[in-house]
A = this chain, B = another copy of it.
Amino acid sequence: MIWNTNLRWRLPVTCLLLQVALVVLFGVFVRYDLDADPHWIGSQGDENTTSDMENEFYYRYPSFQDVHVMIFVGFGFLMTFLQRYGYSSVGFNFLLAAFGIQWALLMQGWFHSYKEGYIHLGVENLINADFCVGSVCVAFGAVLGKVSPVQLLIMTLFQVTLFSVNEFILLSLLEVKDAGGSMTIHTFGAYFGLTVTWILYRPSLHQSKERQSSVYHSDLFAMIGTLFLWMYWPSFNSAVSKHGDAQHRAAINTYCSLAACVLTSVALSSALHKKGKLDMVHIQNATLAGGVAVGTAAEMMLMPYGSLIVGFICGIVSTLGFVYLTPFLESRLRIQDTCGIHNLHGLPGIIGAIVGAVTASCANAKVYGIKGLANFFGFDGFKTSWDSSMQGKFQAAGLFVSLAIALVGGIIVGVILKLPFWGQPADENCFEDSVYWEMPEELKSTVLHPEDSTLKPAEP
């Protein structure tokens, strides 16, 4: 099918409308948190806090910056592996994330930081907004190369909204622990994205097949993304954990899990190639699965060896997924998953949710200490064991809620995105920057099918 891909009015109008709406909503609703307000200095005296260091900023800001790098450079460059889709990978990721964080500040703010008529912004809100957008970046990986920037903005608008609802149900209603977002970010993002791409199934996508692969330098650009994700993942999983030991522990566990995951990914990648050669796709992606899969349990007493085991398993599962599952999903289930997010975020996310549920179930006063248990889970001392297994069940429930909302939401959003006026590329022009970007001279000769010059723009 052929659509008009000239976005001259659609993209500007969408961006400007969204941004104007955000300005108005921020004006009505958003103020600073006390820690970012000049009145803090007064409050400090009142509460007898003697050190400026107690400002939440110093507990969270370094982690925030690491997470910020993961969202913009990490996800952006991870997707540049395609030979002719580097501008779009980095650029559209930049666009959707810049919109998404603003919208997430509002949505998450209404649910979690709303007091006396205002949302109060602090550094933790910035981290959570980045997290929320992380789930959109995950879903972007499934539809990469097949959608227009207008579609991405629409998808972001809905996905951030659904994410916030899901997160509210999990964290506030079910009182689930999910600091690194195995459920809220990865499972939700992956199955939402897979559902959307299932609805947007393109039967003639093989016409763009020659561009759905890498060239030498595009793979190196992608490794920049991979490595920044991998290196900063300990910050991701610990960024919003409780101060002190929980944040410390989350970083250690994530570090361990990711290290183990690299070795098993390499092992499987080589074992599954007939000449024992490594595949960059696995190195770029499967090595990260260990970070996804300790997202829930990293701040718990998973133990370093527990983290290694989780990473060990996920490197294997994820690489097997790339080799066997992705082709199966495409040919049998008509799910065209460009970046293989099912292997990097879907399966490891589910594993992470299960690991979290089991680890929470096993919590007891011997391992955590009575004070530690009360502090970490909020359990009262005497009914600990009952609460632990209850917590485990609620954790498991959280997984199912996330999956359900992802699937239902994905269908609805997919249907909306299937409407023919969003400027999506034709099947033979997928994975191609020149549809939406002014190209350097060297590449202008690459002729595209001329759908955008023969058709007249459908709207003003």
CB-based contact B36/A252 at 8 Å: yes
Say which residue of B95, B228, B245, B275 sits within 8 Å of A263 (CB atoms).
B95
CB-based contact B375/A438 at 8 Å: no
Please, how many angstroms separate the alpha-carbon atoms of A351 and B321 in the complex?
50
Flag whether A271 is at the interface (Cβ < 8 A).
Answer: yes
Flag whether A436 is at the interface (Cβ < 8 A).
Answer: yes
CB-based contact B65/A308 at 8 Å: no
Beyond the given pairs A32-B252, A90-B223, A98-B258, 4 more chain A to chain B contacts, judged by CB atoms under 8 angstroms and listed by A's residue number, are A8-B271, A19-B308, A22-B260, A94-B227
Of the stretches A72-80, A159-167, A337-345, the one at the interface is A72-80
Say which residue of B216, B248, B436 sits within 8 Å of A277 (CB atoms).
B436
Contact digits for A281-303, partner B, Cβ 8 Å, 1 yes 0 no: 00100010000000000000101
CB-based contact A53/B51 at 8 Å: yes
Instruction: Report the nearest B residue to A442, measured CB to CB.
Output: B215
CB-based contact B26/A305 at 8 Å: yes
CB-based contact A270/B216 at 8 Å: no
Where the two chains meet, the residues of A that have a C-beta atom closer than 8 Å to any C-beta of B are 6-13, 15-16, 18-20, 22-23, 26-27, 30-32, 35-42, 44-45, 51-59, 61-63, 65-66, 68-69, 72-73, 76-77, 80, 83, 86-87, 90-91, 94-95, 98-99, 101-102, 105, 121-123, 126, 149, 213-217, 219-221, 223-224, 227-228, 230-232, 234-235, 243-249, 251-252, 255-256, 258-264, 266-268, 270-271, 273-280, 283, 287, 301, 303-305, 308-309, 312, 367-369, 371-373, 375-376, 436-443, 452-453
Please, how many angstroms separate the alpha-carbon atoms of A12 and B439 in the complex?
40
Q: Which residues of B contact A12 (CB under 8 A)?
A: 266-268, 270-271, 276
Instruction: Report the nearest B residue to A374, measured CB to CB.
Output: B41
CB-based contact B23/A312 at 8 Å: yes
A369-B38 contact, Cβ under 8 Å, with A259-B102, A304-B31: yes
Instruction: Report the nearest B residue to A261, measured CB to CB.
Output: B98
Please, how many angstroms separate the alpha-carbon atoms of A9 and B234 in the complex?
32
Q: Which residues of B contact A31 (CB under 8 A)?
A: 303-304
Please, how many angstroms separate the alpha-carbon atoms of A227 and B94 in the complex?
9
CB-based contact A270/B8 at 8 Å: yes
A367-B76 contact, Cβ under 8 Å, with A276-B11, A305-B26, A438-B279: no
Q: Which residues of B contact A30 (CB under 8 A)?
A: 303-305
Q: Which residues of B contact A367 (CB under 8 A)?
A: 38
Q: Which residues of B contact A58 (CB under 8 A)?
A: 53, 58-59
CB-based contact B220/A440 at 8 Å: no
Please, how many angstroms separate the alpha-carbon atoms of A87 and B226 in the complex?
13
Say which residue of B9, B37, B73 sits within 8 Å of A276 (CB atoms).
B9
Say which residue of B15, B122, B372, B453 sits within 8 Å of A39 (CB atoms).
B372
CB-based contact A122/B248 at 8 Å: yes
Please, how many angstroms separate the alpha-carbon atoms of A459 and B7 in the complex?
58
CB-based contact A51/B52 at 8 Å: no
19 residue pairs of the A-B complex, CB under 8 angstroms, read A8-B276, A11-B270, A12-B266, A12-B271, A12-B276, A13-B267, A16-B264, A32-B252, A40-B372, A53-B54, A87-B280, A94-B283, A101-B259, A122-B252, A213-B440, A217-B217, A278-B436, A278-B437, A279-B437
